[in-house]
């Protein structure tokens, strides 16, 4: 039976790959094609082994691959053959000129829009899947629909809310799917086409349609709210450390208020990941552009507190270890920005390790998935960092353990064995409050958690 629609994703990364795999899995009547300029990534997808670790992804991929899901480097052909184009490319922070370090760098976005116009050959719906500054759809329309253009492109915003590590569950059973379009006849038709795709597996009550600008802003605002909660609880954790209040007790007491809720109140060494900081800075830049300086300052503090949290973690380590870590072996347990991913983008472990290395510590990194990322992130310290698959080998002979990722398996390590193989006094700095601090203390460790009383001998 011929396919009823040809769907394309430009971008086969953490969003494009899983999103299209789940879409193909649920819409057998559609042909789903994913293109990328990264030939290695495309080869990995085509081999049936995703290019990154994401629980459940391989099974979904293998069900749909070469049935109604294809991957290719031929971007032009992909554009030509598609009815609907999801643009899922990366939108990094600008590193040069005006807005450097804050604004989104939209040069790749613009290049993609021009490529779509060049190869389209007929009318198409273009969907913003990437996270973008509000009003990007207007710039996109300026490029795609120039005066006198023969082909019409309808632009729809459909931001993605998946979190890494739970991407498949988030895509299969999303809290909501947001689809924003222009309030014109053709705009509404385009929105309806995207609604119809998601309605194959998403409860219609969870499909929310809005105007295009609300959709673009909602994505930035949702990430800002989530990150804000983490900076809020981290700031309270600092008060706990000064006052002997316990952050777990305080977070529980706050989160049981049904108006507040318990999620995103886990204090930590700081949030990481490719998007929270990027998206907040992007929103801050936008606020300043519109003259909303107090609003910009408010949201910027979420990022400032996060940097402070990472710096403070390292300062506490150094102070506890007699004000020097020179030549001291420190085992870093976990380098990924969160558990269940090998992704290290903007991981707090990068900043923590860099600072420790600058203080001339000997850093040994272990992580079940993220050692390749760690090697790349710490490449400038080549020769000063060791990478170990086995956490026991990493810990042997070290003065301290720093728990930087909440991998559940770190709870089950034999800490008696680890303690015996370490230099004394042996320290644990638990940046995720993952471990049982009282048990560790009883074994002989000096234990420092986040927002917790220190347990020292
Ligand atoms: P990514 O870097 O993993 O993937 C982007 C892919 O786009 C890369 O493989 C890159 O080679 C490809 N690409 C770039 N320019 C291209 C072009 N001109 N033609 C073809 N391919 C091109 O990024 P990601 O994590 O998937 O994020 C993509 C977007 O989604 C970002 O805007 C991000 O903010 C947003 N987002 C990410 C997540 C997440 O969990 N990672 C969640 C929600 C939203
Ligand atoms: C986040 C959002 O949760 C997604 O909805 C969004 O789509 C995505 O960003 C994006 O736009 O990229 P993600 O970054 O994959 O997803 O992971 P999260 O689970 O949100 O964690 C982000 C960081 O916050 C991690 O470093 C995590 O360890 C930390 N975190 C999370 C805390 O420190 N405390 C918490 O209570 C929760």
Domains and CATH numbers, the chain: 5-202 (3.40.50.720), 246-457 (3.40.50.720)
Known catalytic residues?
A: 275
Low-confidence ranges of the chain (pLDDT < 50): none
- 333 — alpha (psi -120 to 50), left (phi > 0) or beta? beta
Q: Hey, which residues does 210 pair with through a beta bridge?
A: 180
Q: What pTM was computed for the model?
A: 0.97
Pairing of strands 446-448, 427-430: parallel
Check if 154 has its Cβ closer than 6 Å to any atom of ligand 2.
no
Among 17, 36, 226, which residue has the most ligand 1 atoms within 8 Å of its CB, making it the best to mutate? Answer: 36
Which of helix, strand or coil describes residue 247? Answer: helix
The owner of tokens 């253009």 is 149
Measured in Å, residue 124 CA sits from the centre of ligand 2 at 33
Q: State phi, psi for 362 to the nearest 5 degrees.
A: -100, 115
Check if 164 has its Cβ closer than 6 Å to any atom of ligand 2.
yes
Pairing of strands 177-181, 362-366: unpaired
Instruction: Give the model's pLDDT for residue 316.
Output: 97
Q: State phi, psi for 334 to the nearest 5 degrees.
A: 100, 120
Nearest CA to ligand 1 atom 15: 89
Q: State phi, psi for 149 to the nearest 5 degrees.
A: -65, 145
Interior/surface letters 240-266, b for 16+ CB within 10 angstroms, e for the rest: bbeeeebbbebbeebbeeeeeeeeebb
Which of helix, strand or coil describes residue 242? Answer: helix
Instruction: Give the model's pLDDT for residue 383.
Output: 87
Of all helices (H) and strands (E), which one includes residue 97? none
Instruction: Give the model's pLDDT for residue 382.
Output: 87
Cα distance between residue 393 and residue 49, in whole Å: 29
Which of helix, strand or coil describes residue 403? Answer: strand
């Amino acid at each position: 039976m011929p396919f009823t629609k040809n769907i394309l994703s430009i971008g086969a990364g953490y969003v494009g790959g899983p999103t299209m795999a789940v879409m193909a899995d649920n819409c057998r009547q559609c042909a789903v094609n994913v293109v990328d300029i990264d030939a290695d990534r495309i080869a990995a997808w085509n081999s049936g082994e995703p290019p990154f670790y994401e629980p459940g992804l391989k099974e979904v991929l293998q069900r749909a691959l070469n049935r109604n899901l294809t991957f290719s480097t031929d971007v032009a052909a992909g554009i030509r053959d598609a009815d609907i184009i999801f643009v899922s490319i990366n939108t990094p922070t600008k590193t040069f000129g005006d807005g450097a370090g804050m604004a989104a760098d939209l040069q790749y976005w613009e290049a993609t829009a021009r490529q779509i116009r060049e190869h389209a050959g007929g009318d198409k719906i273009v969907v913003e899947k990437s996270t973008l500054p509000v009003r990007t759809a207007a710039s996109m329309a300026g490029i795609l629909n120039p005066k006198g253009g023969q082909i019409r492109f309808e632009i729809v915003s459909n931001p993605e809310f998946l979190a890494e590590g739970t991407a498949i569950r988030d895509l299969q059973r999303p809290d909501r799917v947001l689809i924003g379009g222009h309030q014109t006849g053709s705009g509404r038709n385009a929105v309806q086409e995207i609604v119809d795709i998601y309605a194959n597996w998403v409860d219609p009550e969870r499909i929310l349609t809005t105007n295009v600008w609300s959709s673009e802003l909602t994505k930035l605002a949702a990430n800002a709210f989530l990150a804000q909660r983490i900076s809020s609880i981290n700031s309270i954790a600092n008060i706990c450390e000064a006052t002997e209040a316990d952050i777990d007790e305080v977070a529980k007491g706050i989160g049981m208020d049904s108006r507040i809720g318990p999620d995103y109140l886990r204090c930590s060494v700081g949030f990481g990941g490719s998007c929270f900081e990027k998206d907040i800075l992007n929103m801050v830049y936008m606020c300043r552009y519109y003259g909303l300086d107090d609003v910009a300052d408010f949201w910027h503090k979420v990022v400032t507190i996060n940097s402070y949290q990472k710096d403070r973690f390292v300062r506490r380590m150094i102070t506890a270890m007699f004000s020097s870590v020179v030549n001291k072996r420190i085992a870093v347990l976990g380098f990924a920005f969160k558990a269940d991913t090998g992704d290290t983008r903007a991981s707090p472990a990068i900043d923590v390790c860099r600072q420790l290395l600058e203080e001339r510590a000997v850093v040994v990194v272990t992580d079940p998935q993220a050692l390749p990322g760690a090697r790349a992130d710490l490449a400038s310290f080549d020769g000063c960092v060791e990478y170990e698959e086995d956490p026991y080998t990493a810990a042997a002979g070290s003065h301290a353990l720093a728990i930087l990722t909440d991998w559940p398996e770190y709870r089950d390590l034999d800490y008696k064995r680890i303690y015996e193989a370490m230099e004394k006094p042996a320290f644990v700095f638990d940046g995720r409050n993952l471990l049982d601090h009282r048990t560790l203390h009883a074994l002989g460790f000096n234990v420092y958690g986040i927002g917790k009383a220190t347990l020292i001998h």
